[in-house]
Structure 1
Amino acid sequence: MQMPVNYEKLIKDLVTPLVVHPEDLMVKMFSEDEAMLTLQVFVHADDLGRVIGKNGRIANAIRTIAYASASRESKKITINIDSF
């Protein structure tokens, strides 16, 4: 039996090395049910481009890792990235 994944920690661990202002990084889970998760990632405005990447490549890589983890639990996950 597999241990459940802490998606907030997973995303935080993936994004922290990318940002200049890690103290401003926040990951919030907005909804969770048996089949669907929604996470909101907030970063400092200066770090938004670093986390999204050119043509969204970094954001897509983060989402792919999260999707792979969620699929092991038969869940779907949505990750939104924003600045504040």
Structure 2
Amino acid sequence: MKALVETIAKALVDHPDDVRVNAVEKERTIVYELSVHPDDMGKIIGRQGRIAKALRSVVIAASVNTDKRVTVEIV
């Protein structure tokens, strides 16, 4: 799942080397913290948050088979 978030983010930004994904695992949830170069923040969020929402939707759909809740936070 971490690789999925990283691959999608790297395809969207101008500085793919600065993409970092950190997985924070809690009891029933996994939070993927995505950090990018400051110049690429707008590209990851998108207009009115559309790209960020789509990224979250893809990750949630991919995690259907797991018994944990998965979220993506943009740091």
Q: How high is the TM-score relative to the length of structure 1?
A: 0.82
Show the 5 A alignment for 1:32-47: 32-33=26-27, 35-47=28-40
Deviation at 1:73, TM superposition (A): 1.8
Partner Cα distance (2:34, 2:68) in 1: 19
1:60 pairs with 2:53: yes
| Structure with larger Rg | 1
Cα distance in 1 for residues equivalent to 2:62 and 2:10: 19
Question: 1:15-42: CA deviations, max 9, x gaps?
Answer: 1110000110000001154x31111000
Structure 2, unmatched stretches of 5+, are none
C-alpha RMSD over aligned residues: 1.2
Counterpart of 2:67 in structure 1 is 74
Determine the C-alpha separation between the residues in 1 that align with 2:67 and 2:7.
22
Amino acid at match of 2:21: V
User: Pick from 24, 28, 42: which aligns with 1:30?
Assistant: 24
- Runs (4+) off by over 3 Å: none
Q: Which runs of 5+ in 1 are unaligned?
A: 1-6
Deviation at 1:69, TM superposition (A): 1.0
